[in-house]
Structure 1
Amino acid sequence: MVRCPESLRSPPPAGTIADLLDEGAACRPDRPLLLDVSGATLTLSEVAALSTAATRWLWDVGVRPGMTVAWQLPSDVKAAVVMLALARTPVVQAPVLHLYRAREVRTAIEVAGADILLVDESTVANTPAGVRTVIVPADIVEQLQTSMRSPHPELARPPTATEASWVYFTSGTTGRPKGVRHTDATLLSAARGYVAHIGLGSHPREVGNIAFPIAHVGGMVYLAAALLGDFPVLLVPKVTADDLPRLIAEHCVTVSGASTALYQMLLAAQMASPTTELLMPSLRMLIGGGAPCPPQVHRRVRQHLKIPIVHAYGMTEAPTICVSESTDTDEQLAQTTGRPIPGSEVRIGASGEIELRGDNLTPGYLNSAQWEHAVTSDGWFRSGDRGHLRADGRIVVTGRTKDLIIRKGENIAPDEIESELLAHPLVDQIAVLGQPDDLRGELVCAVVRRSQRHRDVTLDELCTFLDGRGLMKQKWPERLVVVDDFPLTGLGKVAKSELARRIAGGTR
């Protein structure tokens, strides 16, 4: 029998995600949890029942205890139900971003060692050949509602809170992702800290939304935050500049966000409006993380949307590290990433690198050698970011030690793009780097050294080439610069920081 905990928003720390959902269903059965853009609503009790019934469907399509189940689904209600159903079963689930194409999906499956891949009609084209694949029906929620079967006895044994039953993927500097293990306990720790610092659920009519890939580590963290904060979530499978402001207004969303790119999208929509009336009057704050948020974006959102940005600092290995607070001053919101959440420990190493440990941190990579390389001798995780601690307890992130581009909150490895483009017949030497961009955080810039053997390549030719080789569009260069020479380091490598300075200043 499921009993209501003394504090609805603070379930026992040892509880699982399935426990959290079932406790909510027992205590607040009629409270909305999942909202569809069509207007349909699923309550806590309905979601609990659907995710339970879905274990029968999972068995029918071949899921068995001990398997690793990868899935690639957009941010919709059926994805949430499938994710919560898998959280009830003795399997490891490996969510794959719906933006990935066949080659990237194959790599993710190989890294995770997945036995089966779940897709829907929008992602089935990304399925690599030879991979055991199941198509999730578009009407699976309706099918489950008509059956509402009991859980399958072989799949009715959820993992414990400390079992590594989740695998997420993060880019390495070579482009091959690392498999990042998580437990229910680490994800719930991140969610609790997020709720506590931001005050999610404190508004009497709180409504959140997931307008980012639900397969991102933030997807489950945000759903857990909704359970902890007792508020419903609008799931937006396709985000466009025209539709998102309208959906936020229609569904009276009070808290939205994802990354700086989404803040910019909503800001641009408001500034383009022919009237001074707010397009999204229900919004009380924007939240998110995944990439730096420049102070000027904070100021413009405050000026035009009349709300604050409450930004956070996290990564796949530790989904929530530091979070700003709704009571922070404008200066603290704009200049810092907030304070560490409870259970998260942060220190600055001797070289200025941010190092982490705590309840929110992954227990390790699937590749143990990668993990050993990533931690210090005394057990702290090296984040790859540089920063410093202020006197007020806030953390300031000043840059990265890793050679990665963060575009709209997603890590992109320049080495992977360089390796592909070196196969282009009009490219002899190339360097790929990130450049600051108001909309994306960083854009992908290809710098090609001019050749005496052939004409200059064009940006369209580079993108067409990468398209043919199967790289997702997010990795295609958005700017091309042709230079006569590359600046080099003492070891003969391209000095990318100097190159970035030159092309930013207009030098060719």
Structure 2
Amino acid sequence: MPRLPGDRCGGRRPRPPWPESTAARYRAEGYWTDEVLGRLPDDAGRADLPAVVTPDRTLTHGQLDLAADRLASGLSQRGIAPGDRIVVQLPNGADMVVLCLALFRLGALPVFALPAHRTAEITHLVESSGAVAYVCADRVLDCDHRELAQRILTRAGSLKHVLVAGDPGPFTALADADADPVSLPPPDPSDVALFLLSGGTSGPPKLIPRTHADYAYQLRASAALCGVGRDSRYLCALPMGHNFALACPGVLGTLRAGGTAVLAPAPTPDQCFPLIERARVSITSLVPPLVPLWLDAAEWTDSDLSSLSLLQVGGSRLDPATAAQVPDRLRCTLQQVYGMAEGLLNFTRPDDPEEVILHTQGRPLSPADEVRVIREDGADAGPGEVGELYTRGPYTLRGYYRAAEQNRTRFTADGWYRSGDLVRRTAAGNLAVEGRTNDVVNRGGEKVPCQEVEEHLLADPRVTAAAVVALPHPLMGEQTCACVVLRDGEPELTLRQVQSVLRERGLAAYKVPDRLVVLQRMPLTGVGKIDKRALRHHLAD
């Protein structure tokens, strides 16, 4: 496992969790270089060209570069040091981009929370990372993040700073962390640069340490595959804290290539279509539930979408019937993307046959990506056979941070990551996702860990048993169904009551169950565990 500055590691700098012989090979073959994150292209000719565009603000490359340097200096003067973990929960906007670059330059490590996270999730992220700071907006929709921060401060002992974009209330304004630029020692390429969150494991999210070297390679390789360069305009419609929107190639890959990142406050057509016209967006990314909404809106919009040339769709499997409509309705190329924050990325290529683009999720990004498909009996699956995806490579982690038990079960002794995804591989090497072995509901691309929700349900004194399962949904792909057994004598429990209780407990909105089923008893396996397979069959019937 990587060790980070600030941990009790004798002052040594962290190194990649790959075996040294493997790391040496990745360096020798050019996958890892001396590049570190946070730097923009050293090209004076781009200084006055737009780097970040939002509905109400534009930053040129020169302005973005200077703003990142000033913020890095200001954070340093306020006591943020290299290796410090910073939980970041900001909406899409210029502040988010500037902060990311500043933290990379400082050597502090962002922990990217998701917009829907609330008290329970943010507290977990602060405690599990040992974060010293939380950066948030003042208010987003119906959530006052300053009130959330006050609750977290009472629970998380490591937290020393709260920085707020906007009205800071009792805290410090992010805008006040501003100082004249100073020379800062650059990070080592092998240092951990950031933490992403696991989405496919049970229980609360695990922290995924990504190094400068491996993430920079992901940016370079994905930008090259997607044709992203100086003239590209990437629309970040999904939350920027997601690996997909951040770096596949996303905002960071586009900026690194000298292009323009266009940030939308929401992924809806009414927010995104005018930005596509105004900024001449050429590429964007969506999750499958959004695609039908965009297809329908494209029929009536007055916005000019002709600049859009590539639509990436990932997060869950896109059904072929919807996929087939993209070229005609949006007049652009569809690219299916299947990957994980833990590393491995698969893309369909723009010149792939239609059959591949519609019916698979592509093939690995890197020549150095290693993929195995393992059947239930432990044997390697042949072409067309379904099995669990195992992978390792130059940008796939070798262990979660501070998660020894999960590392024993999710990684093999020789470094293969067990994804929990069931896939089949075609003779040409493309992967088609068929399901999961792990206990997660894929709700429109948002991964809902069943075990975590079950623990919150069981905290209700009226509930004696709880199981969360996925049920099919025509738009979201899957919806979350909570099955509970009530204590004797308890009155009827309604879905609205359950949803209210879970929200009061600080659970993110996307994790709150969509359906509730009250049972007399749970079906059990032979060893006394809840039999979720039998439960799904019962619900289907």
TM normalised by structure 2 equals: 0.81
The CA deviation at 1:399 is 1.4
What's 1:13 paired with?
A: 33
Amino acid at match of 2:63: E
What's 2:188 paired with?
A: 160
The CA deviation at 1:317 is 0.8
CA distance in 2, matches of 1:165, 1:439: 36
What's 1:362 paired with?
A: 397
Gapped regions of structure 2 (runs ≥ 5): 1-29, 140-144, 168-172, 377-386
- For residues 422-481 of structure 1, give each alpha carbon's deviation from its aligned partner in whole angstroms, at most 9, with x where no partner exists: 343554433211223343332212234577734432211111111111111111111223
The CA deviation at 1:174 is 4.7
CA distance in 2, matches of 1:134, 1:185: 29
Q: What's the secondary structure of 1:364's corresponding residue? A: coil
Aligned 8 A contact 1:259 1:291 in 2: yes
What's 2:436 paired with?
A: 400
Residues 235 and 468 (structure 1), Cα distance of their counterparts in 2 relative to 1, 3 Å cut? same
Of residues 339-348 and 458-467 in structure 1, the stretch that sits farther from structure 2 once superposed is 339-348
Aligned pairs (5 A) from 1:436-455: 436-449=472-485, 453-455=489-491
What's 2:60 paired with?
A: 43
CA distance in 2, matches of 1:141, 1:49: 16
What's 2:273 paired with?
A: 245
- For residues 291-326 of structure 1, give each alpha carbon's deviation from its aligned partner in whole angstroms, at most 9, with x where no partner exists: 2222222123344333343121111211x5211111
What's 1:57 paired with?
A: 74
CA distance in 1, matches of 2:176, 2:461: 52
The CA deviation at 1:416 is 1.6
Q: What's the secondary structure of 1:88's corresponding residue? A: helix
Of residues 307-316 and 217-226 in structure 1, the stretch that sits farther from structure 2 once superposed is 217-226
CA distance in 2, matches of 1:134, 1:47: 23
CA distance in 1, matches of 2:79, 2:245: 25
Aligned pairs (5 A) from 1:326-475: 326-342=350-366, 343-351=368-376, 352-367=387-402, 369=404, 370-424=406-460, 426-449=462-485, 453-475=489-511
What's 2:117 paired with?
A: 100
What's 1:6 paired with?
A: none
What's 2:52 paired with?
A: 34
The CA deviation at 1:247 is 3.0
Residues 247 and 437 (structure 1), Cα distance of their counterparts in 2 relative to 1, 3 Å cut? farther
Aligned 8 A contact 1:353 1:383 in 2: yes
CA distance in 2, matches of 1:244, 1:455: 46
Aligned 8 A contact 1:264 1:438 in 2: no
The CA deviation at 1:499 is 2.5
Residues 255 and 88 (structure 1), Cα distance of their counterparts in 2 relative to 1, 3 Å cut? same
Amino acid at match of 2:46: R
Residues 278 and 117 (structure 1), Cα distance of their counterparts in 2 relative to 1, 3 Å cut? closer
TM normalised by structure 1 equals: 0.86
The CA deviation at 1:350 is 4.5
- For residues 236-274 of structure 1, give each alpha carbon's deviation from its aligned partner in whole angstroms, at most 9, with x where no partner exists: 234445323333333332222231133233224335x3x
Amino acid at match of 2:309: R
What's 1:7 paired with?
A: none
CA distance in 2, matches of 1:475, 1:141: 30
Matched, 1:117 2:134: yes
Amino acid at match of 2:342: E
CA distance in 2, matches of 1:126, 1:301: 40
Aligned pairs (5 A) from 1:266-305: 266-270=294-298, 273=300, 280-305=305-330
The CA deviation at 1:383 is 1.1
Matched, 1:149 2:177: no
- For residues 169-225 of structure 1, give each alpha carbon's deviation from its aligned partner in whole angstroms, at most 9, with x where no partner exists: 225755222111111122122222322333234xx9532111222222335412232
CA distance in 1, matches of 2:436, 2:347: 19
Q: What's the secondary structure of 2:286's corresponding residue? A: coil
Q: What's the secondary structure of 2:324's corresponding residue? A: helix
- For residues 369-391 of structure 1, give each alpha carbon's deviation from its aligned partner in whole angstroms, at most 9, with x where no partner exists: 23343222322111111212211
Residues 429 and 98 (structure 1), Cα distance of their counterparts in 2 relative to 1, 3 Å cut? same
Gapped regions of structure 1 (runs ≥ 5): 1-9
The CA deviation at 1:148 is 7.4
Aligned pairs (5 A) from 1:178-327: 178-201=206-229, 206-221=232-247, 222-240=250-268, 242-270=270-298, 273=300, 280-318=305-343, 320-327=344-351
Q: Percent identity?
A: 29
Aligned 8 A contact 2:316 2:444 in 1: yes
- CA-based RMSD of the aligned residues comes to 2.8
CA distance in 2, matches of 1:451, 1:149: 63
Q: What's the secondary structure of 1:18's corresponding residue? A: coil
